[in-house]
Structure formats: structure tokens, C-alpha cells
Structure 1
Amino acid sequence: MSSRGLHTLSELKAALDQARREAERQEALQREIAAREKRERELFAVTVGPVQPLRPTGRARQARALPTPEPRQRQRDEREALRESLSDEFNVDTLLETDETLSFRRPEIGLDVVRKLRRGGWAIQAQIDLHGLRRDPARVKLNAFIRDAAEQGLRCVRVVHGKGLGSPGREPVLKARVRSWLVQKNEVLAFVQARPAEGGSGALVVLLKAS
């Protein structure tokens, strides 16, 4: 037999040996997996104890789409935080300027700033309309609006609260609430009643802190 034939037989034998070892390795691996699964079943049976399988009902189970998760706890926390931070019991009357529009300014803000705000010295960069909303939704929306406006670096915004003509007894309940809430917001430096063309007694022009 030629040397080439001997070489081919040697390679074939080596390949067969390798295939045999791989098959033995796979068999050992399968035995190990089966033994581990058996131990796990036995451990489960000892831990849980005897169980009775449910009888088949013959009813087909239809897969249903899961509802979209809602962060209800976070929403409750946020509403609670808003109720604590923007109180309805806050007495704002003593902080308002005693003019015909009951304007407001922080102690460090001069009267000239209020006059400039009333004349339209700052361009209105954003507004929110709370007209027609109930107290709690209005408070939540106003708080978020002022916070977002301040984070965006806005200086002058308009808050429309309505004139209260549709309220019971025609009393402008929301109007008074909005003034009280704004005074409690640290981002607010001053506010005045809007000019007639900007909403008049149904809106406020608010000056925010510079970012």
C-alpha cells in the first residue's frame, strides 16, 4: 500500500475517533442535564407536597392583549405633592398691591417692574388657559405650566383663568385660586391683570425669574 493510502487511513481513523469522543461528550452532557432536571423535580415535589392536577375543562383559552401600564402611584404622589405645595388655605390678600387690579410683586421687585409689566414691556412667550376647569385639574396644570416655563427660560407668560361669569353665584372662584397659587410659586416674581386686548380681568400676565 502506498504512503498516500496509509496517510488517508490514518486521517480517517483520527476523524472517527474524534466523532466518537464528541458523541460520548454529548451523551454525558445529556445525562447530566436529565439528572439535574430530575433533582429539581424531586426537590419541588418535596417542597410543595402532593398536588392534584386540575381537570381539563375543554374550554379554549384566548390570548388577550395586556392593558397599557399606568403609573397610578406616581400620579397619586404628584397630586398629593401639588396639594401640599399649592395650598387653598394660603391667604394672598395681604401680599397683593392695593390697586384696582390687585397686582403682586416680590419684596425685591420694584414698582417700576410692575408698571413695565402692566404696559406690556415683556413679550408674552407662552400661555395656559384654565377657563372652565375644576379646582384640582386647574391647580395641577398651572403648577406644571409654571415649572416647565421656568425650566425653558421663559420670562413672561399669560395665565387665563376666566372672569367667573359661569360659576355658581357668578363668583370668580378660580380667579382667586390662581392668584393664591401663583404667589406660592417661587418661580413667580410678579403678576398683573392683563390688558383688555390680552384678556382683561380674565387673565394675568406673569413675570418669572431669569434662569
Structure 2
Amino acid sequence: MTRRRLTSDEIDLWRKVVEKAERLHPESTSSSDARPLPMPKPKPVKAPKPRVEPFSLGQTAKAHPVRHDLKPALAESLESAKVQMDRKAFTRMKRGKLKPDARIDLHGMRVDTAHPALTRFILSAQASGHRLVLVITGKGKTKPDDGPIPTPRGVLKHQVPQWLRMPPLAQAVLQISSAHISHGGDGAYYVYLRRTR
């Protein structure tokens, strides 16, 4: 709150009161000027300069963010699988040099009809003495929008390798691999069968 200045009338009134009043301590010196003291000017306070440590942009950032790849891609898991068959035959098969003995086309089938059809085909092919068969699944339809959670393209394309690794087909299958482009590429699988005993 700021102090207001006295007017000239107030100063004259104060002087009259001072002349008629008796001093309590007459030995102290009196000041003839009864005007109020001027307001003291505030001293400027210098704020200390903030000390800034030298830095470079991004110095505390992590080098590479960790990717949350919980499930490897289907092609990667098939390629990383250990080769169970003859290495030369596997190389020829991957290059499309081996001709499949039989084939099954699962295009357009639903999961509930494709699974029994695949089971019948693999077991009968093994019983017939076939070694290399081709399972055509198709690449799957592309959707206009995957949404926030991407879903794998092609239900049969992802289900067939799992079915081939589960009983009763696991005992008949020796090797699963993606087909060469001449036999369908990503939309088909080579299935190398075990010999019947």
C-alpha cells in the first residue's frame, strides 16, 4: 500500500497542534520541518545469472528404441528352421528344380474344410510313396484398413504350417518351406514327406 502525501491544509493544521502541545522530553532536539520524509527508493537487486550446463541435442536419448517383435514373420520362422532333409535336395527344392509329386489347392476353402482336406491329402500322399508335395494356400486378400492392430494376411497361409507341425501330420512331415516363384511363391508351401516304414 502506498503512502499518500499530506495536503498543505493538513500540514498547517499539524503545525498548530505542535505549537500548542507540550513535549514529553524537552531535552531532545526538535525539527522545524514537519513534512513527511520522502519514500525510500528501493535498491535494485541483481538476480544471479542461471548457470546452464553445456549440452547437445538428444544426449540423453536412447540409442535405438527396443522393438517389440513378439512373433516372428512366417517366412522368417520357416527359413530359420533346421534343415531335416538332404542338403542338396533342399537346395534344389528351394530353387524350384524339384518337381512336386502331388499338389493340393486350398484356395477358397474355409478353415473347417481346409484342415481335414489337408490331413487326408498328406497322409494319402505319404502312403502312396510321394516325397515332395505342394500345398497351395494363396497369399490372402488385402484389406483396405488394418486398424490399430494389424492382422496377418491370409488365414490359411498362417494356419497350414501350424497344422503340418501338429499330430497327426507331424509324424509324416520332414520339412516345410516356402515354394519357389515358379510353383506359387509366397502363396504355396513345399512339404517334404518322410518315407513310410
- The TM-score with structure 2 as length reference comes to 0.50
Query: In the alignment, what sits opposite 1:138?
Result: 114
Contact 1:114–1:191 (8 Å) recurs in 2: no
Residue pairs, 1:24-173, within 5 angstroms: 98=76, 102-103=78-79, 108-109=84-85, 112-165=88-141, 171-173=153-155
Q: Give the distance between the partners of 2:112 and 2:156, measured in 1 at CA.
A: 10
- In the alignment, the residues of structure 1 paired with residue 89 and residue 185 of structure 2 have an alpha-carbon distance, to the nearest angstrom, of 19
Indicate if the aligned counterparts of 1:103 and 1:191 stay in contact, CA closer than 8 A.
no
Change (3 A) 1:163 1:98: closer
8 A Cα contact 1:189 1:209, kept in partner = yes
Give the match for residue 186 of structure 2. Answer: 201
- In the alignment, is the contact (CA less than 8 A) between 1:125 and 1:155 conserved in 2? yes
Is there any run of 5+ residues in structure 1 with no aligned partner, and where?
1-92
Contact 1:109-1:189 at 8 Å conserved across structures: yes
8 Å CA contact 1:129–1:159 kept in 2: the answer is: yes
Check the 8 A contact 1:129/1:161 in 2, yes or no: yes
Give the secondary-structure state (helix, strand or coil) at the position aligned to 2:76. coil
Which protein has the bigger helix share? Answer: 1
The answer for the alignment partner of 1:176 in structure 2 is 158
Taking the aligned partners of 2:83 and 2:91, their CA distance within structure 1 comes to: 15
> Aligned residues: percent identity?
34
The CA deviation at 1:145 is 0.1
CA distance in 2, matches of 1:98, 1:200: 14
Give the AA of the match of 1:198: H
State the alpha-carbon separation in 1 of the partners of residues 181 and 139 from structure 2: 12
Q: Contact 2:177/2:190 (CA < 8 Å) preserved in 1?
A: yes
Distance in 2 between residues matched to 1:139 and 1:104, nearest whole Å:
25
**For 1:123 and 1:145, how far apart are their aligned partners in 2?**
17
**What TM-score do you get using the length of structure 1 for normalisation?**
0.47
Kept after mapping to 2: 8 A contact 1:105/1:189? no
Aligned residues: 116
2:96·2:182 contact (CA, 8 Å) conserved in 1? no
8 Å CA contact retained: 1:175, 1:202: yes
Q: Pick closer, same or farther for the CA change 1:108–1:118 going to 2, 3 Å.
A: closer
What is the SS of the residue equivalent to 2:113? helix
CA distance in 1 between counterparts of 2:132 and 2:111 reads: 24
- Which of residues 156, 175, 189 in structure 2 aligns to 1:190? 175
> Structure 2: 5+ residue runs without aligned partners?
1-70, 147-151
Q: CA deviation at 1:162?
A: 0.7
- Report the structure number with the largest CA radius of gyration: 2
Deviation at 1:112, TM superposition (A): 4.9
SS in 2 for 1:98: helix
